[in-house]
């Protein structure tokens, strides 16, 4: 069931508007009650699609950070602890993916000092195959509860398309996850704008599987050298700002015009873009480049958005008003976020916003099931 802006505003009504006003910009509330029961999680629970781990071959190739230091133990738990946390949070199926920055930052996580660009591409392709094979084994060990997103060697477009094909057709993966721009060759950000990447976009369309574009550490910027601003470079701001830049670059450079059936997924309520789309198009139309004013139309046709790590009810209200409930998906950002707190928040938010049972069920699982073929 599709809920568009006008329908959503009717169903949410005055109570939702009053909620947004009363909570203001600080609408998230801490969840303290326990999540759904394990029986609910295995029968009618959530499909959560931004759930992270570190595969064995990745363990020595991650960017050090405080969140990683705190959560490393959970990131390398593939069985009982993860399943128990899923049960407590009411998650029926988790789509697993390699922890950020994945293979998109090999310049920071591998010794590439003696390799030329061609050798870097070969090294990344070999690593992607190995990581995906390991993820496949983890998924198969609990195949009723896990699915997988492929890691792709984005420095080599032909190899990325071939690896996506292998992972979907041979390993049963439900798509792929990119950790932002790729800096593996000489540390230079690659935003995938070269014509050579058309082979990958075409393969996504042929397979009818989405690309999840996930954040990574923002590129160096003088802003992050200002007092206290280095703390913003990761998940508070830089992750999302840099992901928005990547997606906007793809949009205004015509990727979705050339491939109108290409589907991408953005986490964290859309990585800023749904909240700023009107303004971007508005100013492009009133400036010198009105032909580039296609952010809103791309959101409507090509983009799905998850609620991962963003337990804020007014933000969800706005997201549904912009995107429609049928383009909103569930995710928790486990283990970086508390999956049980996310479930408790979401169940409360659906009532506070007056979502219909059909719309709520779609966000919980139905929309992801249709998109990913689960």
Catalytically annotated residue among 85, 182, 281, 333: 333
Domain residue spans of the chain = 5-24+45-372
Question: 7 pLDDT exceeds 80?
Answer: no
Q: How far is 36 from 45, CA to CA, in rounded Å?
A: 8
Q: How far is 173 from 373, CA to CA, in rounded Å?
A: 10
Q: How far is 262 from 39, CA to CA, in rounded Å?
A: 36
How does pLDDT run across 239-283, given as a tens digit for each residue?
Answer: 889 999 999 999 999 999 999 999 999 999 999 999 999 999 999
Upstream peptide bond of 101 is cis (omega within 30 degrees of 0) = yes
The stretch 277-304 carries a mean pLDDT of 96
Q: What is the structure's pLDDT at 160?
A: 98
Q: How far is 151 from 100, CA to CA, in rounded Å?
A: 11
Of 308, 320, 316, whose CA–CA distance to 348 is shortest? 316
N- to C-terminal Cα distance for the chain? Answer: 18
| Cβ burial 68-91 (10 Å sphere, 16+ → b, else e) | eeebeebbbbbeeebbebbbbbbb
Q: Sorting pLDDT into bands at 50, 70 and 90, what band is 226?
A: very high
Q: How far is 55 from 130, CA to CA, in rounded Å?
A: 9
Is 333 assigned a catalytic role? yes
Of 306, 340, 136, 345, whose CA–CA distance to 215 is shortest? 306
Of 34, 9, 22, whose CA–CA distance to 341 is shortest? 34
Question: 334 pLDDT exceeds 70?
Answer: yes
Q: What is the structure's pLDDT at 12?
A: 39
Token pair of 138 as six digits: 């983890």
DSSP state of 327: G
Mean per-residue pLDDT over the chain, rounded: 88
DSSP state of 220: P
Q: What is the structure's pLDDT at 288?
A: 84
Q: What is the structure's pLDDT at 133?
A: 98
Question: When comparing pLDDT for 367 and 33, which is higher?
Answer: 367
Kindly tell me the burial class for residue 183, based on how many C-beta atoms sit within 10 Å of its own C-beta (0-12, 13-18, 19 or more). Answer: buried
The stretch 353-358 carries a mean pLDDT of 96
H/E segment holding residue 176: strand 176-179
Q: How far is 229 from 225, CA to CA, in rounded Å?
A: 6
Residues 6+ apart with CB under 8 A from 272: 240, 241, 244
Report CA dihedral (123, 125, 130, 133) to the nearest 10 degrees. Answer: 180
Q: What is the structure's pLDDT at 63?
A: 76
Check if the beta carbon of residue 250 is closer than 8 Å to that of residue 193. yes
How does pLDDT run across 174-214, given as a tens digit for each residue?
Answer: 999 999 999 999 999 999 999 999 999 999 999 999 999 99
DSSP string, 251-268: HHTTHHHH-TT--EEE-G
Q: What is the structure's pLDDT at 11?
A: 39
Question: 359 pLDDT exceeds 50?
Answer: yes
Q: How far is CA 114 from the centre of its chain?
A: 33
The stretch 323-331 carries a mean pLDDT of 97
Q: Sorting pLDDT into bands at 50, 70 and 90, what band is 43?
A: low
Q: What is the structure's pLDDT at 15?
A: 35
Q: Sorting pLDDT into bands at 50, 70 and 90, what band is 217?
A: confident
Q: What CATH number was assigned to the domain covering residues 5-24+45-372?
A: 3.20.20.140
Q: What is the structure's pLDDT at 5?
A: 36
| Cβ burial 125-151 (10 Å sphere, 16+ → b, else e) | bebbbebbebbbebbeebeebbbbbbb
Q: How far is 233 from 351, CA to CA, in rounded Å?
A: 35
H/E segment holding residue 93: strand 91-98
Check if the beta carbon of residue 314 is closer than 8 Å to that of residue 26. no
Q: What is the structure's pLDDT at 6?
A: 36
Question: 23 pLDDT exceeds 50?
Answer: no
pTM attached to this predicted model: 0.87
């Amino acid at each position: 069931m599709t809920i568009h802006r006008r329908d959503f505003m009717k169903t949410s009504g005055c109570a939702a508007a009053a909620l947004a006003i009363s909570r203001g910009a600080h609408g998230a509330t801490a969840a303290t009650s326990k999540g759904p029961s394990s029986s609910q999680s295995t029968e009618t629970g959530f499909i959560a699609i931004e759930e992270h781990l570190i595969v064995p071959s990745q363990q020595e190739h991650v960017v050090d950070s405080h969140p990683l230091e705190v959560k490393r133990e959970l990131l390398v738990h593939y069985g009982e602890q993860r399943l128990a946390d899923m049960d407590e949070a009411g998650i029926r199926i988790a789509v697993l993916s390699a922890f950020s920055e994945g293979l998109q930052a090999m310049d920071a996580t591998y010794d590439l000092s003696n390799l030329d660009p061609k050798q870097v591409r070969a090294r990344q392709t070999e690593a992607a195959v190995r990581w995906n094979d390991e993820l496949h084994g983890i998924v198969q060990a609990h195949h009723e509860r896990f699915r997988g997103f492929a890691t792709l060697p984005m420095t080599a477009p032909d190899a990325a398309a071939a690896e996506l094909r292998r992972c979907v057709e041979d390993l049963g993966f439900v798509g792929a996850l990119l950790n932002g721009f790729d800096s593996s060759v000489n540390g230079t950000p690659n935003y995938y704008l070269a014509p050579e990447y058309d082979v990958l976009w075409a393969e996504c369309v042929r397979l009818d599987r989405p690309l999840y574009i996930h954040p990574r550490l923002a590129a160096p910027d003088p802003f992050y050298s200002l007092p206290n601003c280095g703390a913003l470079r990761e998940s508070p701001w830089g992750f999302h700002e840099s992901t928005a830049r990547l997606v906007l670059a793809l949009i205004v450079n015509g990727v979705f015009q050339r491939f109108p059936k290409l589907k991408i997924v953005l986490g964290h309520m859309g990585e800023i873009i749904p909240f700023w789309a009107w303004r971007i198009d508005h100013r492009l139309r009133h400036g010198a480049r009105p032909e580039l004013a296609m952010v809103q139309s791309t959101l409507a046709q090509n983009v799905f958005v998850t609620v991962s790590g963003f337990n804020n009810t007014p933000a969800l209200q706005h997201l549904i008003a912009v995107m429609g409930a049928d383009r909103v998906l569930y995710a928790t950002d486990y283990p970086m976020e508390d999956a049980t707190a996310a479930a408790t928040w979401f169940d409360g938010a659906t009532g506070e916003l007056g979502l219909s049972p059909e719309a709520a069920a779609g966000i919980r699982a139905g929309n992801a099931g249709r998109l990913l073929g689960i």
